[in-house]
Amino acid sequence: VFNLDDIRIPYITKNDKRLKGGAGRNPTDVWYFDRVNNMTKKKLGLNHPTVYPLPMIMRILKMSSDPGDTILDPFVGSGTSLVA
């Protein structure tokens, strides 16, 4: 399963001529997300060394599964995929 339409990057303006052809542009191979730093981990009460940004996990799940699918996360870690 690969759901490209679920992860398209929306066009910035509504007057963009490209809007007629689709719901946004294709994502690139570089993704930008805010980091989860030590201060954020302390505020959230997390002790796991590798906490991933929630928007990143949500994007991965949106593009690789359909609503209602069961997701296997065998290592769970900090539980970010459970929240997503």
- Residue 16: pLDDT band (50, 70, 90) is low
The confidence score (pLDDT) of residue 49 equals 77
Residue 2 neighbours by CB under 8 Å, 6+ apart = 63, 64
The confidence score (pLDDT) of residue 72 equals 85
The confidence score (pLDDT) of residue 17 equals 63
* Three-class HEC string of 20-50: HHCCCECCCCCCCCCCCCHHHHHHHCCCCCC
Give the number of residues written for the chain.
Answer: 84
Query: How many other β-carbons are positioned within 10 Å of the β-carbon of residue 6?
Result: 16
For residue 84, pLDDT over 80 is answered with: no
3-13 pLDDT, tens digit per residue, is: 888 888 877 76
The confidence score (pLDDT) of residue 39 equals 76
Q: Which of 13-17, 18-22, 35-39, 59-63 has the lowest mean pLDDT?
A: 18-22
Structurally, the chain folds into a number of domains equal to 1
| Residue 1 to residues 6, 18, 52, Cα–Cα distance (Å) | 12, 26, 23
Domain extent at residue 66 = 4-83
pTM of the prediction?
0.65
